[in-house]
Structure 1
């Protein structure tokens, strides 16, 4: 199909077919944007020519350590220049990049080292103790270590391992990049959170990451030379692939090691940050920051937010501060975001603030690099697009993982029926826009009625005293389960359980209102997601 009757001599060759890879963006940028600022981290400022040189030297150094095609190089690094450079330097020597969550426990890190067969490790000095303990707990051969000190942040070199800058200085600046011959070659290895068992290794290919960068530029309406602040941890879906994307459009990457309201406002005011991505907790931080942590700025900052759906109340407030928020959605298995709440201009511009915020809380439609994303029932039939019937979000497209490393059974299950099964429950509106109802495991079933924790959380977040809210199922003798809310209050606010329950009753049906409200700081992952599995344990123990 699609072939002409005679295509003699019309073959793929070096001139007309090159494997897609995000490495090509930096290879091009070193010439096209040679003198433009590529990376900023405090006083560290490098041009694209220098950025390419540093990544090349890293590739050379790794090759000198015996890293070759298909070998895994792990990192335990926050959002600093070395972590960004690893995204190019590791695959440039043929290696596969495995960025590891710096907040994981020793045994989980050891498991990841073993499972991924890491041959080398770049580790920030802050996490040297974690790395050493994990190496000691491994069953296999420990990776070779390169230490990445950060004296400015208070983490000078220990002297126990080769230091990153010394390694780069001694490497070959003329090292030839090992570009993939097949775009299906593995680029990165990421691990799922593992909240229900051992984390699974998610394998990315070069094609998917390349198309993610192209699709994101379109969806985010980007033009040349944005200033992007890396708030999303680079160990989380490789920072949604945004570090690979910046050289495509000559953008400047502003590294953010410690995510605080002060750091974000300062970067926006001083570095003129135009874009950043972050979980809803980051939006909440900005909305609730005291005046002495804020800075004024005179441009609109474009924000991608993903994770738990942000409360409409938060979206309504942050817009007034100069941020234009677009809700996106995705998973580790999809390289990060694959849907967007694409704004329908004149159709929605005239809506009042609450209606606009409610629409912005939707996860939206498929981004350009995807083939089809929809909501189906258990038989893979399309659910009615009426905004009320729930089903599972199903995903198909180029930005879907190759599969789970060394786990063919889980891979087959995830891809059953020709779609990736997200495990997220959602409704679909008449215009095709998807809106998450809940993770399948987070639905509360009370007396046979399904209760969306997201819906209850959205109402709680509308209260002026509430900073964050999470709702989980609490076992109940009569109803099986009832909603139990955990609430983090704003500074100075005092918790009144009865009053807050009464507040929810003004909006929600009685069976949906929380039966208990517990005031405490909410446990969070390094990416700002609330750890509901911890709250479920607590709820089960509460009278």
Structure 2
């Protein structure tokens, strides 16, 4: 049996299972499993993977919607010192084959409804030798695949083993790096950074080893503060998994899952009420604005949702406007944690509640202690100087991108003897030590020699009462090289004249940043995790403007 001395997620969760075996671990619909069941089922699946020939360090792709089996498969991989690979369930055959092959996945745990898609690319898979199929009621089946429940019933649970904090944890991301790439951390760095920050915010003592977690989480539960987390975004992305599962699980928490195939604000609000969730994870304005609309509608029909148990709303990775935060705080007396960062690392946090929201500004964050702003030539930006620099995150810095030394060297840099993650986000450093996020350099629009960051313009446009969502892109222009173009959607009310939009933006930003073109669409293109799909937005703009 492992003595849980190393900081490793498997060791952490085994300590939780030992400390509170009969408490709920995961719920989906009317099914709940305890920590004892969770630990045993994961150990059985770990044995299936080992019996299938996988050795420590081998990769296990998880291709599933939000499900209990998704979390069991991840836990099983950790137990056997394997590396779980998150797979975007929206990918088509070519993208799937890339992720499976690029990650060297030797096993694929998948929901049966995806069997036809795997069958279509099976002859292209270079490393996959074990397929484990989760029955999802679809009636689909992949020839030769093990059936999940039958497979774990036929083996004894894997014995606990010694593990190393140097074992690799990896999350695939496609948000900022072109083709999907695996961002690698070691378990020690990843686990202590995430859990350490969560415990610090709760003023809990951080133990020297995972063995010491038991008394801490028992005390948290006894005080009535055991986490009950509802990640409303996909587990296949870092926001849902890290904030919605990894942190609360490591504090002994209970995870409440929902069917996440499409976002239903009323369904989410009903689940928050019924489950008595204490914290939820959403994706900025993309989730918040429809939730606010649903809350007003429910209040209008005298059927308000009961959010009295909710204590925390988390969001990460996308813009979360001050107006949307204020709208949620009208209905829920909570603390809102808005984290700025990406799969490559967290950079800063904005914390809001009913007392502080009046002074909140969109895109303004308190820097993490290990984060600095440097100019592109390596000078540290002075607070209040107005100089624009790159956000450089220290502390929880990835090892690199899997099998991509070039991109790793470009993103993870040593400056003045300190290693930083530099994914390309620009910001200014204010006199009070906060930062104002401007946007990612790769999306910067050059119009007449002026650099314009799309995110800054998007937030100005989204502050209009009738705008639901917006992305800003550059399109070709004979005079200026590029001109700023807004691709936006409305709340379905009356039409908004371009002149009114321009006037609204110009009241908030310099004139040269105001879009020259406004392209209305039914739905602004975004991935399931809320990340902007600028490529599709630009294509829509070019088509509507007759420039394609």
Q: Normalising by structure 1, what TM-score?
A: 0.87
Cα drift, residue 376 of structure 1: 0.6
Q: Distance in 1 between matches of 2:186 and 2:146?
A: 30
1:130 equivalent in alignment to 2:117: yes
Of 355, 360, 365, 1:363 maps to 365
Partner of residue 213, structure 2: none
Q: Secondary structure at the match of 2:307?
A: coil
Are the equivalent residues in 2 in contact too, given 1:107–1:137 (CA < 8 A)?
no
Q: Distance in 1 between matches of 2:443 and 2:537?
A: 11
The worse-fitting range, judged by mean Cα deviation, of 311-320 and 45-54 is: 311-320
Cα drift, residue 59 of structure 1: 0.7
Of 341, 362, 365, 2:350 maps to 341
Partner of residue 172, structure 2: 191
Partner of residue 410, structure 1: 407
Q: Distance in 1 between matches of 2:32 and 2:70?
A: 15
Q: Distance in 2 between matches of 1:388 and 1:456?
A: 18
Q: Distance in 2 between matches of 1:205 and 1:86?
A: 19
Of 298, 302, 315, 1:305 maps to 315
1:325 equivalent in alignment to 2:311: no
Measured against aligned partners, the alpha-carbon deviations of 1:36-80 in whole angstroms (never above 9, x if no partner) come to 111100111011111111111111111111112111110111211
Cα drift, residue 484 of structure 1: 0.5
Q: Distance in 1 between matches of 2:245 and 2:357?
A: 36
Q: Secondary structure at the match of 1:364?
A: strand
Partner of residue 169, structure 1: 153
Partner of residue 426, structure 2: 425
Partner of residue 161, structure 2: 178
Cα drift, residue 510 of structure 1: 2.0
Cα drift, residue 241 of structure 1: 5.6
1:214 equivalent in alignment to 2:215: no
Are the equivalent residues in 1 in contact too, given 2:228–2:278 (CA < 8 A)?
yes
Q: Distance in 1 between matches of 2:499 and 2:124?
A: 49
Partner of residue 149, structure 1: 135
Q: Distance in 2 between matches of 1:492 and 1:150?
A: 40
Q: Distance in 2 between matches of 1:67 and 1:352?
A: 51
Q: Secondary structure at the match of 1:487?
A: strand
Q: Secondary structure at the match of 2:365?
A: coil
Partner of residue 102, structure 1: 89
Partner of residue 8, structure 1: none
Q: Secondary structure at the match of 1:400?
A: coil
Cα drift, residue 196 of structure 1: 6.0
Q: Distance in 2 between matches of 1:197 and 1:296?
A: 42
Of 257, 261, 267, 1:263 maps to 267
Measured against aligned partners, the alpha-carbon deviations of 1:342-386 in whole angstroms (never above 9, x if no partner) come to 56x9xx94x672x32x1x6423221xxxx6211110122111212
Measured against aligned partners, the alpha-carbon deviations of 1:234-280 in whole angstroms (never above 9, x if no partner) come to 22137126423334322110112224212321221011111122211
Are the equivalent residues in 2 in contact too, given 1:23–1:244 (CA < 8 A)?
no
Tell me: CA distance 1:209–1:500, structure 2 relative to 1, closer, same or farther (3 Å): same
Q: Secondary structure at the match of 2:179?
A: coil
Q: Aligned runs of 1:5-404 on 2, under 5 Å?
A: 18-138=5-125, 140-151=126-137, 155-156=138-139, 158=141, 160=143, 161-173=145-157, 175-180=158-163, 182-187=164-169, 189-193=170-174, 197-218=178-199, 220-221=201-202, 223=220, 224-237=225-238, 239-240=241-242, 242-258=244-260, 259-280=263-284, 281-289=286-294, 291-292=297-298, 295-322=305-332, 323-334=334-345, 337-342=346-351, 349=355, 353=358, 355-356=359-360, 358=361, 361-366=363-368, 372-386=370-384, 388-397=386-395, 399-404=396-401
Q: Secondary structure at the match of 1:391?
A: strand
Q: Distance in 2 between matches of 1:78 and 1:220?
A: 30
Are the equivalent residues in 2 in contact too, given 1:23–1:179 (CA < 8 A)?
no
Q: RMSD of aligned C-alpha atoms?
A: 2.5
Measured against aligned partners, the alpha-carbon deviations of 1:112-138 in whole angstroms (never above 9, x if no partner) come to 211221111001123222222232333
Partner of residue 539, structure 2: 537
The worse-fitting range, judged by mean Cα deviation, of 498-507 and 421-430 is: 498-507
Unaligned runs of 5+ residues in structure 2 are 204-219
Cα drift, residue 92 of structure 1: 0.8
Q: Distance in 2 between matches of 1:523 and 1:253?
A: 29
Cα drift, residue 30 of structure 1: 1.8
Q: Distance in 2 between matches of 1:96 and 1:506?
A: 50
Q: Distance in 1 between matches of 2:55 and 2:161?
A: 9
